Amino acid sequence: MYFTDRGIEELEERRGDDTVSLGWLADKLREFTDLNPEFEVPVDRLATWLARDEDSED
């Protein structure tokens, strides 16, 4: 397990049954980036990766 997996595990445990929209996720990513501008590049890369996921059904 990577160190970052701890946050992912917590997210799954706390919010695993929640349903959210991509709009909500985008707003949360913007909010996080506004509060933590040093993470702008990794957040942007994650958002781009999610947006271009070739395995999605859309």
Domain total in the chain? 1
In a domain, 6, yes or no: no
Res 13 pLDDT > 80 = yes
20, two tokens? 């959210």
Predicted structure pTM score? 0.75
In a domain, 43, yes or no: yes
In a domain, 52, yes or no: yes
Burial class (CB in 10 A: 0-12, 13-18, 19+), 43: middle
Domain boundaries, position 43? 19-58
In a domain, 35, yes or no: yes
14-27 pLDDT, tens per residue? 999 999 999 999 99
Instruction: Provide the pLDDT confidence category of residue 8 given band limits of 50, 70 and 90.
Output: confident
In a domain, 42, yes or no: yes
29-38 pLDDT, tens per residue? 999 999 999 9
In a domain, 14, yes or no: no
Instruction: Provide the pLDDT confidence category of residue 43 given band limits of 50, 70 and 90.
Output: very high
Cα angle value 34/40/17 (rounded, 5°)? 75
CB atoms inside a 10 Å sphere around CB 2 = 7
